[in-house]
Amino acid sequence: MLLIQQGHLVNPATKRSEVCDILIDGDTITSIAPSIEAPAGATVIDARGKHIFPGFIDLHVHLRDPGLEYKEDIHTGSDAAAKGGFSTVCCMPNTLPVNDSKTVTTYIVNKAKAYGKCRVLPYGSISKGMKGEVLTPMAELLEAGAIGFSDDGKNVDNAEMMKIALEYSSMWNALIAAHTEDPHIGKGGVVHEGFYSSKTGLKGIPDITESLGVARDIELAYYTGNRVHFCHVSSKRSIELIRQAKASGLPVTAEVTPHHLFLNDSAIETYDTNFKMNPPLRSEEDRLACIAGLLDGTLDAIATDHAPHAIGDKEKEFDNAPFGVIGLETALPVTLDLVHQGKMTLEELIAALTVKPAAILGRSDLGDVSVGRIADLSLWDLSATDTIDDSYFASKSHNSCFKGRQVVGRNTLTLFGGKPVYER
């Protein structure tokens, strides 16, 4: 048994925020009370002065395994998740080979279970090879453990293919996570099209590239009546369209990344490739719209789009470097600034990392520290300060856009199924 004493539990699923004791037997929470006498033989953790949060859920990560393990693998990705307080991550299918078969899905699920530091829920691809031509065997992938489907990294250009995918996935209420990007507008671009693309001479990607894709998939959600989840929303216009769709009662949800909440395209003036991601860092107006969208519920969840790349991949000319930044370890320390600035309550922020992504996945068993639930949780010292640098990461790759940033908030313990998987 394990007893956590006198930590401040913040559990948005039950709207509970109080100092309490939590008793864990095996992998299950058995009691939560103002004070619990330690059973004989129990391990006692003194959590005074610390906050207890449900295990975070990331709807959007890239673990690069199989095929690109030199960037990241399921083990190091799980380590990064555990350090960041994440108990569940949903990994995208753009691996080598693409996760478009039962064999690859089973490999990912089994490798993650054997390592046992994090719950890895893989997305199968919508189309075979992510080519947008032939639908994957959805039933087989779901049976093997897929949580849903996405061709993330590529837009499903063929509207008929996307329509069929929505119709088929609805048979199992499976999630379709859409990477919305018109492939013809801004083709070859590497940064947001605007003042800073002109100043730096880097080819731009206009925000309409995203909003056109969002508009199309909202129409498909309307036509089919089936749900669509929008990945890494970055533009003001996209947010306006999603807000209108939700007001009309359409079954759409959306996520936003920490980097689109806290950075804008002025960062590219340095030509640092750690500021190159897709969708790109956009204008200050877009950034503020992302915050507003998160505050009013248009954007449901915070997801990192954790995209590891080896040093040699990123140390290239800006045009030739790959898109993507890591984010699992830094997600809460960075986004806590929204609480420090008085824009969100701590409970609202934690909800965007726990109960809200759990609802999108249809997993009421996750993101909830309650009696009878799996003991996935983390303990945070919200007064501790750190500076993000290369030593900060458990990930195999260090391509963070937040290096040099001082943050307040440090994870001291992550429990996954009642087992300590990260301690500091």
Report the Cα–Cα distance between both ends of the chain, in Å, rounded: 21
Question: Which pLDDT belongs to residue 19?
Answer: 98
Q: Is 305 a catalytic residue?
A: yes
Question: Which pLDDT belongs to residue 411?
Answer: 98
Question: Which pLDDT belongs to residue 9?
Answer: 98
Question: Which pLDDT belongs to residue 371?
Answer: 98
Question: Which pLDDT belongs to residue 69?
Answer: 98
Question: Which pLDDT belongs to residue 132?
Answer: 94
Of 73, 182, 286, 305, which one is the catalytic site residue? 305
Q: Which CATH number fits domain 54-361: 3.65.10.10, 3.20.20.140, 3.90.1150.10, 3.40.190.10?
A: 3.20.20.140
pLDDT of the chain, 424 residues: tens digit per residue: 999 999 999 999 999 999 999 999 999 999 999 999 999 999 999 999 999 999 999 999 999 999 999 999 999 999 999 999 999 999 999 999 999 999 999 999 999 999 999 999 999 999 999 999 999 999 999 999 999 999 999 999 999 999 999 999 999 999 999 999 998 999 999 999 999 999 999 999 999 999 999 999 999 999 999 999 999 999 999 999 999 999 999 999 999 999 999 999 999 999 999 999 999 999 999 999 999 999 999 999 999 999 999 999 999 999 999 999 999 999 999 999 999 999 999 999 999 999 999 999 999 999 999 999 999 999 999 999 999 999 999 999 999 999 999 999 999 999 999 999 999 9
Question: Which pLDDT belongs to residue 44?
Answer: 98
Cα separation, 98 vs 115, in Å, equals 22
Q: 383, 408 in Cβ contact below 8 A?
A: yes
Report which of 110, 158, 106, 156 is spatially closest to residue 130, judged by C-alpha positions: 156
Q: 168, 149 in Cβ contact below 8 A?
A: no
Cα separation, 56 vs 38, in Å, equals 27
Tell me how far CA of residue 39 lies from CA of 1, 25, 48, in angstroms.
Answer: 8, 10, 19
In the chain, domain spans:
2-51+373-397+407-423, 54-361
Report which of 163, 164, 165 is spatially closest to residue 216, judged by C-alpha positions: 163
Classify 162 as helix, strand or coil: helix
Helices (H), 125-174: 138-144, 159-169
Question: Which pLDDT belongs to residue 207?
Answer: 98
Topology at the third CATH level for domain 2-51+373-397+407-423: Urease, subunit C; domain 1 (2.30.40)
Give the predicted TM-score (pTM) of the model. 0.98
